[in-house]
Homo-oligomer: A and B are copies of this chain.
């Protein structure tokens, strides 16, 4: 993209001509030398970020952009502190200043982030030095037991009431599955739980261990609709309290046991291992440990499923997200995920990328989130609302542009020849209704 200042900019972009004589400058430019520096620095930052077609409105009200026409999307800096913080550390400060209200977005937030992501240089297109720096920055992924507890509290113990405002009725805080694009969030979450059960070929009387069970929706679904016995682990106290209340309400105490503990403390043997939306919190350094837990939990022909956000290239998470929303979080590539399975000789049966399902899930979450803006601002404050909105919108943008993936990985020990020959059963009406009339129930 050719740098091209316009009417809005009093001084044309001067590149590296630092020593240009004053006489070459326009009168306004000499009147605002500091502002000119800020513009040049913002330009530099945007260039490093891949020259996204956006405009910048500076604290003095002037607007600048580097495309032929004024773009429809823009960033409006409300004060110079926010502007300078963005210049110094754009990836961290964007979220912080947006949350604080010092930086506003002109246009749709999701579209803005999509535009930014589409233009940013991908890891494999970068020079070696930047790639190495980027990789080194991503090496903070060893989560000790104590640290894990803190990370999770940070995110999931914000308060059950908060999540009840914008999640589905069963509080499923992971990617839903849309058999049809126009399914509701409730239908799609029910369909997801059922899809996981079908992928696992659960049989009545079998035993399941779940690592990272959230508010217990999957465990309860498996027990209620598939007749299995489930032991489900989670380190979040608030979630376990809620899950225990629900298991009583449904009268499933004989089939479901919730345990407030770390996945590393799982003991016993189970026919099936399942983990939905936990791997993102595990940290790559602990993947082998997770593999060991799976290995010691499964009998000779045991099987399992891991469902996790992933990404195409091994890049560190956005620093704002790591600092404020997901401390200790990391979204692995499919290759990195193999560290869980390969060292223990577990056989991959099926990998499905549900990226667009997560984009749709996030659309539903965002809509509900916005509908409850007043309650959320009352519960916390407007900064909290803005930060979480940015997180949800940013996630949707990432899934839409393919910067993030959602992988469902089905596996078993090698040599399990009792599994179905094809995946047709996953999509057969017969199977869905035979199993538990899942979709019908959800839609009725």
* Chain A residues proximal to chain B, CB less than 8 Å: 118, 122-125, 177-179, 181, 312-314, 333-335, 338-339, 342-353, 355-357, 400-403, 405, 407, 413-417, 419, 421-424, 426-428
Copies of this chain per assembly: 2
- CB of A433 to closest CB in B, whole Å: 15
Top 8 nearest A-B pairs (CB, nearest first) are A402-B414, A402-B415, A351-B351, A335-B338, A424-B427, A427-B427, A349-B353, A122-B345
In the assembled complex, which residues on chain B have CB atoms less than 8 Å from the CB atom of A403?
414
In the assembled complex, which residues on chain B have CB atoms less than 8 Å from the CB atom of A343?
124
* Contact yes or no, A350 B352, CB < 8 A: yes
Closest to A124 in B: B345
Contact of A405 among B313, B347, B421 (CB under 8 A): B347
Contact of A427 among B348, B401, B417, B423 (CB under 8 A): B423
* Contact yes or no, A312 B421, CB < 8 A: no
Contact of A179 among B313, B400, B422, B427 (CB under 8 A): B422
* Contact yes or no, A353 B348, CB < 8 A: yes
In the assembled complex, which residues on chain B have CB atoms less than 8 Å from the CB atom of A118?
415
- CB of A81 to closest CB in B, whole Å: 35
In the complex, what distance in Å separates the CA atom of A177 from the CA atom of B428? 18
Closest to A422 in B: B179
In the complex, what distance in Å separates the CA atom of A314 from the CA atom of B355? 29
* Contact yes or no, B342 A314, CB < 8 A: yes
- CB of A407 to closest CB in B, whole Å: 8
In the assembled complex, which residues on chain B have CB atoms less than 8 Å from the CB atom of A124?
343-345
In the complex, what distance in Å separates the CA atom of A103 from the CA atom of B159? 71
In the assembled complex, which residues on chain B have CB atoms less than 8 Å from the CB atom of A344?
124
- CB of A60 to closest CB in B, whole Å: 37
In the assembled complex, which residues on chain B have CB atoms less than 8 Å from the CB atom of A342?
312-314, 333-335
In the assembled complex, which residues on chain B have CB atoms less than 8 Å from the CB atom of A407?
348
A-B pairs with beta carbons under 8 Å apart, 22 shown: A179-B424, A313-B342, A313-B345, A333-B342, A334-B338, A334-B342, A334-B348, A335-B335, A335-B342, A338-B338, A347-B353, A347-B402, A347-B405, A348-B351, A350-B352, A356-B419, A357-B421, A402-B416, A422-B427, A423-B423, A423-B427, A427-B427
In the complex, what distance in Å separates the CA atom of A403 from the CA atom of B346? 11
* Contact yes or no, B352 A423, CB < 8 A: yes
Known interface pairs A335-B342, A352-B350; A414-B401 also in contact (CB < 8 Å): yes
In the complex, what distance in Å separates the CA atom of A338 from the CA atom of B312? 10
In the assembled complex, which residues on chain B have CB atoms less than 8 Å from the CB atom of A423?
352, 423, 426-427
In the assembled complex, which residues on chain B have CB atoms less than 8 Å from the CB atom of A345?
122-125, 312-313
- CB of A180 to closest CB in B, whole Å: 8
In the assembled complex, which residues on chain B have CB atoms less than 8 Å from the CB atom of A415?
118, 400-402
In the assembled complex, which residues on chain B have CB atoms less than 8 Å from the CB atom of A405?
347-348
Known interface pairs A179-B424, A415-B400, A421-B178; A350-B347 also in contact (CB < 8 Å): no
In the complex, what distance in Å separates the CA atom of A124 from the CA atom of B414? 13
Closest to A122 in B: B345
- CB of A196 to closest CB in B, whole Å: 14
Closest to A114 in B: B415
- CB of A187 to closest CB in B, whole Å: 14
19 extra A-B contacts, CB within 8 A, seeds A351-B351, A402-B413: A179-B422, A312-B414, A335-B338, A335-B342, A338-B338, A347-B353, A348-B351, A348-B353, A348-B405, A349-B353, A350-B351, A350-B352, A350-B353, A356-B417, A402-B414, A403-B414, A422-B427, A426-B427, A427-B428
In the complex, what distance in Å separates the CA atom of A313 from the CA atom of B338? 11
In the complex, what distance in Å separates the CA atom of A24 from the CA atom of B419? 53
In the assembled complex, which residues on chain B have CB atoms less than 8 Å from the CB atom of A400?
415, 417
Closest to A416 in B: B402
In the assembled complex, which residues on chain B have CB atoms less than 8 Å from the CB atom of A177?
422
In the assembled complex, which residues on chain B have CB atoms less than 8 Å from the CB atom of A178?
421-422
Among A351, A407, A426, the most chain B Cβ lie within 10 Å of the Cβ of A351
